Structure 1
């Protein structure tokens, strides 16, 4: 079959390699540097034939995409935004059937404890980047699972109450979250690593420095601070799950609890999401 059956057609589609694990060690000096990445590729374009008839003439195998990632890493990684763009540009410019490429990268941080020794806990914060290329590049940077907590300077009161409301108001609570943030660049920064460090520092400063009356207020403060700090950024998307901490009633145990003993909640949790944009001039 070389064409779809009457009444049917192919919609948006892509294919690629997901979860490419890459570790690069820079041995240029006795003080080694390590980069630990997970790379995902997705290609799209004139790929109707492989869907309709199994004609794979225009298909670059996903295994080849994986090998390309490793081959490009031989020359160094650099800023993950730049590495993602190198890959995306390569796929579009060298594969005739491919008109659009998307490369996502997550970087797993290692903490240096010696010239060639490093430590990393399980899970935790990831630096992220995504590049889309279709003749022009669009670049997004960000973080995922950045755990933040304020032990005070957070309230939640004055909310709507109906017949199903049992949540008490509070004028002092623990505010904890695992931030996922992504900011789009209107223009690529001259130094993506420095732009990332500045954005992350702005995020931390806004979280720590905002007296929070709601997690929504904190979300907006974080997005606004990133945009003020990084002039190349045009939009910040944020996802802040509320990692609830419940003050325990120790009265049945013959103890008071002046805000020192809490139970960390799991499921369900509140999820606050939003976008902060720079206004057009």
Structure 2
């Protein structure tokens, strides 16, 4: 046979699961988008069409919903761990399970009464998690996307290379804005280890990320990116690697001279928020001695 089967996987993508937990009149929401991907001894189904080793994707969908009911959803990471362990340990042909989860946040609407069951969807960011299990070791990568942040000052950009095509003026007081896409890899890999508190870890990583963005006097978005990643590594011992993809959401001073108006940062400037093209800054920050494992292209995680 002149061809052979390479890497392959299958599963059910984008299972939307909403779990309501009732604590008297106070309700709690977990809203997830769960994708299951399984791989293992699947050669024969590709070569001959035999489904003898195939767990139907409809079954994986049903498992997601059943586990949400039976085990609850403590966190995106813990839910993914339950699922991955089940698929690998319950089906001999399945050697590796990868669970990808997006979590959508809801904020409670405070009302005059005692009932707490009304919510508004938060628009800050989407939480992410990917859990991979091969029967002996774990890899857990958490993250977020669509977290838009801005510093209205304390940012400069000057001293860069200039050639015959350079028209960008140097900036000594500019807006720095970006839409953060980030993933971070945990050093927890063995059931014998104490697992992190996934909810607390996510909250603290986001907190340190935002504090570093706010507190760094930025001479470049690259400098800010590194400060964000380094602060996370320094403060969160459970994390060995952080990767960022940061589009520079450019804000340019509008030329108001034709209207006889002065427009500078010292006197309440007016900016044009450019949609595209945009600078795209990407990098990984690692704990000393650790190897990079998060893919460069975060869309493939």
Q: TM (normalized to structure 1)?
A: 0.94
Q: Deviation of residue 89 (structure 1)?
A: 0.9
Distance in 2 separating the partners of 1:17 and 1:267 = 34
Aligned length: 275
Distance in 2 separating the partners of 1:266 and 1:190 = 39
| Structure 1 partner of 2:89 | 93
Distance in 2 separating the partners of 1:38 and 1:264 = 32
| Structure 2 partner of 1:3 | none
Q: Return 264-273 or 204-213, whichever deviates more.
A: 264-273
Distance in 1 separating the partners of 2:148 and 2:251 = 14
| Structure 1 partner of 2:38 | 43
Please state whether the residue corresponding to 1:252 is helix, strand or coil: helix
* 8 Å contact from structure 1 (residues 247, 263) kept in 2: yes
| Structure 1 partner of 2:181 | 180
**2:3 alignment partner, one of 4, 8, 14:** 8
* 8 Å contact from structure 1 (residues 234, 277) kept in 2: yes
- Whether 1:264 and 2:273 are equivalent positions in the alignment is yes
Distance in 2 separating the partners of 1:198 and 1:233 = 11
Please state whether the residue corresponding to 1:78 is helix, strand or coil: coil
* 8 Å contact from structure 1 (residues 189, 195) kept in 2: no
Instruction: Give structure 1 stretches of 5+ with no counterpart.
Output: 1-5
Q: Deviation of residue 59 (structure 1)?
A: 1.0
In 2 relative to 1, CA 248–189 (structure 1 residues): closer, same or farther, beyond 3 Å? Answer: farther
Q: Deviation of residue 189 (structure 1)?
A: 4.1
**Superposed counterparts of 1:49-128, under 5 Å:** 49-75=44-70, 76-114=72-110, 115-120=116-121, 124-128=124-128
* 8 Å contact from structure 1 (residues 105, 130) kept in 2: yes
RMSD of Structure 2 on Structure 1 (CA): 1.3
Distance in 2 separating the partners of 1:265 and 1:38 = 31
Q: TM (normalized to structure 2)?
A: 0.88
Distance in 1 separating the partners of 2:270 and 2:121 = 29
